Amino acid sequence: MYQDVILDHYKHPHGRGLRDGDAEVHHVNPTCGDEITLRVKYDGSRIEDVSYEGQGCSISQASASVLNELLVGKELAEAQRIQGTFLELMQSKGQIEPDDAMEEILEDAVAFAGVSKYPARVKCALLSWMAWKDATAQALGDAERKSA
Amino acid sequence: MGQVLDEQGIAVRVGHHCARPVCLRYGIPATTRASFYLYSTPAEVDALVEGLEHVRNFFG
C-alpha cells in the first residue's frame, strides 16, 4: 500500500502552509485522527491556489500534497474531472488497475490505488479532496451571491 | 503506523479512540495504543519493540 511516491509526498509536502484564500474549511477524519485546514483561491473559474495545514497519518498528508500539485492552475471543470476520477479509483476496492489514460489524469495520485483495498484508509486519502470540494462550493457560492 | 505494525502481525488501536475531546485537551492529533493483559507474553512485548523500530525506520 505504501508506495515510495506516497512517502515522498509525506516527507516533502508540496505547497503546504496557509495562504490567502476565498474560503476556508476544516475537516477531520476521526478513525485515524487526521485533520486538515484548507483554503482555496479562485481567479474566476481558475484555481489560483490551494493552501493547507494539517496533521495526521502519512496517507492523508501525502494526499493533500498531491492534490495541491494536481489542481493548482487548473480550470474548475478540469479539476472536477480529476477529483471524480480519483474518487472512482479510491472507491474501487482495489478492482481498478490504473491504465495509461487514468495515469495521465491522476499523475502521482495513481500511487493511492493500493489504498483502495483498505476500507479503513480510503477516508484518509479522500480527506483533502472532500475538503477541497467543500471549500470550492463555499468560495464559488459566495462569489455568486456577491455578483447577484 | 497501525498498518505497518499490522503487516508484522501486531495489533494496536490508532486514532482518537472515540475520545476526541481528550486528544484536544492534551493537544495531540492521535495516538497509537497497545493493550496488555494476563495472557500477553514477554515475546510479544519484544515483537512490539522491534515493530516500533521498524515503524521509525519506515517513516523516518
Do the Cβ atoms of A1 and B3 come within 8 Å? Answer: yes
CB-CB neighbors (< 8 A) of B29 in chain A:
33-35, 55-56
CB A71 within 8 A of CB A96: no
pLDDT band at A130 (very low <50, low <70, confident <90, very high): very high
> Is A125 in contact with A60 (CB distance < 8 Å)?
yes
Residue B23 is among the residues annotated as catalytic for this protein: no
ipTM entry: 0.73
pLDDT at A111: 93
**Cell numbers given for A15:** 505547497
Backbone φ and ψ of A45, nearest 5°: -100, 10
Which residues of B fall within a CB distance of 8 Å from A7?
59
Q: Say whether B59 and A7 touch across the interface (CB within 8 A).
A: yes
The answer to whether B1 contacts A56, with C-beta atoms less than 8 Å apart, is no
Of B3, B9, B11, B18, which one is the catalytic site residue? B18
Q: Is pLDDT above 80 for A146?
A: no
The whole-number pLDDT of residue A1 equals: 64
Residues in chain B: 60
Q: With contact defined as beta carbons under 8 Å apart, do A26 and A35 qualify?
A: yes
What is the b/e burial string over A50-71, where b = at least 16 CB atoms within 10 angstroms of the residue's CB?
Answer: bbbebebbbbbbbbbbbbbbbb
Q: What is the pTM of this model?
A: 0.87
Integer Cα distance of A83 and A14 in angstroms: 18
Q: What residues in A contact B23, CB-CB < 8 Å?
A: 33
For residue A147, pLDDT beyond 80: no
pLDDT of residue B44: 96
pLDDT value, residue A2: 67
